[in-house]
Amino acid sequence: MFASETDAGLSDSLRPNEVLSMKTAVSGSSAAAIAHGMNQLGHPSIALEPSNAEFDLIDVMERSGTLGLVHIGADDSKVMLSYAEQCRDLGLEFSADPGTLEGADAAEFIDGAKFLVTSRDRYEFLQATTGMADDDILAAVRVRVTTEDTDGVEIAGHDMDRQRVPIARAREVIDPSGVPEAFRAGLLAGIGWGMPLRRAAEIGSQLAALAAESVGAAAYTVNPAEFVHRLDESYGAACAAEASAYLLPE
């Protein structure tokens, strides 16, 4: 059932953070890369095998304990819809990334999601194939988090002001291929730590910048002290201080 459980190889400096939050399960074709990023940040996560026919979240929780969040990424449509239905039935909060899912399947998939995480082009594709306006989508999900390349990240939801998070500073862009997975990893880790969404998006953006500086979706490593310093450079002292509570435990 499990492609990897990210306790393995966790550095001693990050291990104490595991007690601060429940695990996040990550599914889809990018699950391993997202779990890598979460592992680097010290957040407990489980990468579920893509296209696995045995998509049973009860089995996952029997093995690993109650899940704080399930992130359902792009995969076989049957698998995606099953995970979403199970989350609704079990009362589990889930984050939805519909990928290229379209039409009625896409509308059914996102219904009840706590978070909708997409790029701008995929969000527009979702709207085009479902016929759903922005308000319709925000009636189906609690919050959407939309990445917009160099324009940063837009966060929108009911009963909240829209927010825009600028991109983090990257020292040298070598390979942007792993950026989407790294952003999701940082976002999910921040959410799992209980951070405000803006702060979680800042963590995701900084991790995405780090991923862009290496070749491959899971080739980067996080030095906690250096990562906190870079958060300070990109987003200021308040962000760095909040992240340091998780990345630099006493």
Q: What is the pLDDT of residues 23-40, one digit of tens each?
A: 999 999 999 999 999 999
Average pLDDT of the residues in 177-184: 95
Show the tokens assigned to 50: 């893509």
Q: Which residues contact 8 (CB under 8 A, 6 or more apart)?
A: none
- Strand 2-5 to 45-48 pairing: antiparallel
Show the tokens assigned to 131: 């016929």
Task: Give the model confidence (pLDDT) of 198-213 as tens digits.
Answer: 999 999 999 999 999 9
Is the distance from CB of 90 to CB of 112 less than 8 angstroms?
no
H-type alpha helices, the chain: 31-40, 57-64, 77-90, 103-110, 120-130, 134-140, 179-192, 197-212, 224-235, 237-247
Task: Give the model confidence (pLDDT) of 66-115 as tens digits.
Answer: 999 999 999 999 999 999 999 999 999 999 999 999 999 999 999 999 99
Task: Give the model confidence (pLDDT) of 52-80 as tens digits.
Answer: 767 899 999 999 899 999 999 999 999 99
Pick 2-247's CATH classification: 3.30.310.80, 3.40.50.300, 1.10.10.10, 3.40.1190.20.
3.40.1190.20
Spans of all domains in the chain: 2-247
